[in-house]
């Protein structure tokens, strides 16, 4: 009798779950049937030929957008581009190109250090006249880039007009250059070196692709051999990548067998603990981890774990808040589905996800989890940390704020275009420690001829205010006041460029440095003006020996 009662109770308990599963299967079947019926009817009745490829892509993307921004459909033709995004890998010569003049030729804008392009002698400013016999004159930058890419081991032939004198050519010479394509993997460690104090090591990590942890390890050991006494790991702007690389980076600094992150999904048995499996490199050296609003996913796993173990001092601003794990699933016809399969939790139990995509407003909008609904957790030494919105640093240090004009010049490509022009006109620059850009008049003359939104932030708000007043029918009522305020805020392009010289100069110097000393040159130049880093080095660190 007891067995029958238990069986009956079990059935009652399971009944809602069985009904829910059956309801889910019914709704999916119903949706598929409706979808097929719509396509069949459109194919039979629509007035024009159906653009099936576009409809297929639009339907898939629209369906997945209802879930979260990270669950996406990857058709076969986009897999190579996705591989570049996820792994920073492609087959090619290793150079960024530009086309300043729509009717002109393609220009080498930036060869990567030690890439096939750099080893073949291509320099910033060189003109690419043809690619495998095809003129670049009528090609877009994207079309030219596509022709330069290809399977590693294959050869691509360029006709190049040299911009500066070289070992065996004169400026203006036209040469044929054959380059064997290679597997180009953009490095995650953009720079690793000692700071000026001679005891602080600094490493800028821009991603977590395959091999990132090993690169961090080798750089750390090299710096320690050089006398490093404190290590700064810069994760600002690092949007994440492979979870296993994040785990291996944490394993460099905490005892073997430590939990780094736990993932929990909806499917039974999907909970998994990721522990360090390797011997650490160093358990006592003071660590600083720099983060900001662009530090996400794997960056939050690293900074969250090191914070939970009180192993590092986290400095900067609150991180992005992406606590979702994605997996790649194969689809028919060589497509792929990148799907969110779990949420991850730091060693203390925190989930850093800032937005609950399952809870949407009636209009489909989502909002960050308010601080009032977050929960408190404790670190290894009993410090309080919270969930629900990224990693909050131990010390809040805000970056320098820039004017709207500076952002317009950088994001609009004006500074980049000028750096290319500068590289074409100057065969070399002094060593970076001695280089200072002094021809600001030339930059102003260049920039003021370009089309970009050079309004100040105040002027942009003023223009919005006028539009709102016009919309409300109040423009005439406030016309005198508006005219007076507009006269104060109005500023011509050249005057504003000169007024903001001090904040624009660092951006120019950084872009120029990249053209002569590659990405590491840009990092070194940026560190000259990095007030956030400079302030971080003066702050007290967490005591790891409590």
Pairing of strands 72-74, 335-345: antiparallel
Of 343, 246, 259, the residue nearest 302 (C-alpha): 246
Residues with Cβ within 8 Å of residue 408, at least 6 apart in sequence: 414, 452, 453, 454
**Maximum CA extent, the chain:** 100
Same domain, 270 and 413: no
What confidence tens digit (pLDDT) does each residue in 478-499 have? Answer: 888 878 887 777 888 999 999 9
Task: For 483, list phi and psi in degrees, rounded to 5.
Answer: -60, -40
Percent of the chain exceeding pLDDT 90 equals 62
Q: Mind giving me the DSSP string for 490-521?
A: ---HHHHHHHTHHHHHHHHHHHHHHHHHHHHH
Same domain, 225 and 356: yes
pLDDT of 116 > 70? The answer is: yes
Q: Are 359 and 368 in contact (CB under 8 A)?
A: no
**541 in a domain, yes or no?**
no
What confidence tens digit (pLDDT) does each residue in 405-414 have? Answer: 999 999 999 9
Same domain, 343 and 259: yes
CA distance 275 to 243: 12
Same domain, 313 and 423: no
What confidence tens digit (pLDDT) does each residue in 84-101 have? Answer: 666 788 899 999 999 888
What confidence tens digit (pLDDT) does each residue in 258-291 have? Answer: 999 999 988 777 789 999 999 999 999 999 999 9
pLDDT of 315 > 90? The answer is: yes
| pLDDT value for 546 | 57
Same domain, 283 and 323: yes
Higher pLDDT, 403 or 267: 403
**237 in a domain, yes or no?**
yes
- The parent domain of residue 158 ranges over 89-185
Q: Are 93 and 156 in contact (CB under 8 A)?
A: yes
Percent of the chain exceeding pLDDT 70 equals 94
Same domain, 233 and 247: yes
pLDDT of 160 > 60? The answer is: yes
Same domain, 351 and 435: no
What confidence tens digit (pLDDT) does each residue in 421-445 have? Answer: 999 999 999 999 999 999 999 999 9
Interval 456-484 mean pLDDT: 83
What confidence tens digit (pLDDT) does each residue in 210-251 have? Answer: 999 999 999 999 999 999 999 999 999 999 999 999 999 999
Q: Per the confidence metrics, is the pTM higher than 0.85?
A: yes
**367 in a domain, yes or no?**
yes
What's the domain count of the chain? 3
Helix (H, G, I), strand (E, B) or coil at 131: strand
- First-to-last C-alpha distance (Å) of the chain: 59
| pLDDT value for 52 | 83
| pLDDT value for 277 | 93
Same domain, 275 and 180: no
Q: Which positions are catalytic?
A: 297, 308, 322
Same domain, 180 and 193: no
- Per-residue pLDDT band at 465 (split at 50, 70, 90): confident
Average pLDDT score, the chain: 89
The gap from C-alpha 98 to its chain's centroid, in whole angstroms, comes to 21
**127 φψ region: left (φ > 0), alpha (ψ -120 to 50), beta (else):** beta
To the nearest 10 degrees (0 to 180), the angle between helices 414-425 and 501-528 is 70
CATH no. for residue 277?
3.90.226.10
**465 in a domain, yes or no?**
yes
Q: Are 442 and 426 in contact (CB under 8 A)?
A: no
CA distance 206 to 526: 15
What confidence tens digit (pLDDT) does each residue in 13-55 have? Answer: 555 545 555 566 777 778 788 878 888 888 888 888 888 888 8
pLDDT of 531 > 90? The answer is: yes
């Amino acid at each position: 009798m007891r067995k029958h009662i238990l069986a009956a109770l079990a059935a009652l308990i399971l009944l809602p779950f069985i009904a829910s599963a059956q309801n889910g299967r019914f709704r999916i079947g119903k949706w598929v049937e409706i979808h097929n019926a719509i396509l069949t009817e459109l194919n039979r009745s629509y007035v024009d030929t159906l653009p099936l490829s576009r409809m297929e892509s639009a339907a898939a993307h629209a369906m997945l957008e209802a879930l979260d921004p990270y669950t996406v459909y990857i058709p076969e033709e986009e897999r190579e581009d996705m591989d570049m995004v996820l792994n920073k890998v492609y087959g090619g010569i290793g150079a960024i190109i530009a086309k300043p003049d729509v009717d002109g030729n393609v220009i080498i804008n930036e060869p990567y250090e030690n890439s096939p392009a750099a080893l073949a002698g291509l320099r910033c400013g060189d003109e690419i006249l043809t690619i495998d016999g095809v003129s670049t004159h009528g090609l877009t930058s994207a079309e030219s880039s596509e022709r330069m890419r290809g399977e590693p081991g294959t050869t691509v032939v360029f006709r190049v007009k040299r911009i500066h004198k070289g070992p065996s050519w004169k400026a203006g010479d036209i040469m044929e250059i054959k380059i064997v394509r290679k597997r180009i993997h953009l490095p995650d460690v953009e720079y690793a070196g000692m700071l000026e104090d001679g005891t602080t090591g600094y490493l800028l990590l821009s991603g977590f692709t395959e091999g990132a942890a090993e690169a961090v390890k080798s750089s750390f050991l090299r710096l320690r051999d050089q006398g490093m006494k404190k290590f700064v790991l810069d994760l600002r702007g690092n949007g994440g990548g492979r979870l296993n690389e994040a785990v291996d980076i944490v394993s460099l600094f905490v005892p073997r067998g430590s939990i780094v992150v736990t993932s929990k999904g909806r499917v039974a048995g999907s909970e998994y603990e990721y522990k360090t499996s390797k011997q650490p490199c160093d358990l006592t050296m003071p660590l600083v981890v720099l983060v900001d609003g662009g530090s996400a996913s794997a960056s939050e796993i690293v900074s969250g774990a090191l914070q939970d173990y009180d192993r590092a001092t986290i400095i900067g601003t609150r991180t992005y808040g992406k606590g979702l794990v994605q997996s790649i699933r194969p689809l028919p016809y060589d497509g792929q589905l990148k799907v969110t399969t779990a949420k991850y939790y730091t060693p203390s139990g925190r989930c850093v996800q800032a937005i609950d995509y399952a809870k949407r407003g009636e209009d489909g909008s989502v909002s960050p989890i308010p601080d009032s609904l977050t929960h408190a957790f404790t670190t290894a030494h009993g410090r309080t940390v919270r969930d629900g919105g990224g990693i909050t640093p131990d010390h809040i240090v805000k970056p320098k704020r820039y004017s709207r004009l500076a952002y317009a010049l950088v994001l609009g490509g004006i500074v980049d275009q000028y750096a290319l022009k500068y590289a074409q006109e100057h065969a070399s620059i002094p060593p970076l420690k001695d280089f200072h850009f002094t021809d600001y008049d030339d930059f102003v003359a260049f920039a003021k001829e370009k089309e970009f939104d050079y309004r100040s932030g105040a002027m942009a708000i003023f223009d919005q205010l006028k539009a709102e007043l016009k919309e409300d029918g109040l423009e005439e009522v406030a016309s005198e006041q508006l005219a007076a305020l507009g006269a104060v805020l109005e500023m011509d392009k050249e005057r504003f460029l000169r007024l903001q010289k001090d904040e624009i100069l660092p951006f120019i110097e950084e872009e120029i440095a990249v053209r002569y000393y590659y990405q590491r040159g840009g990092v070194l130049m940026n560190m000259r003006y990095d007030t956030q880093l400079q302030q971080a080095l003066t702050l007290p660190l967490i005591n790891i020996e409590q």
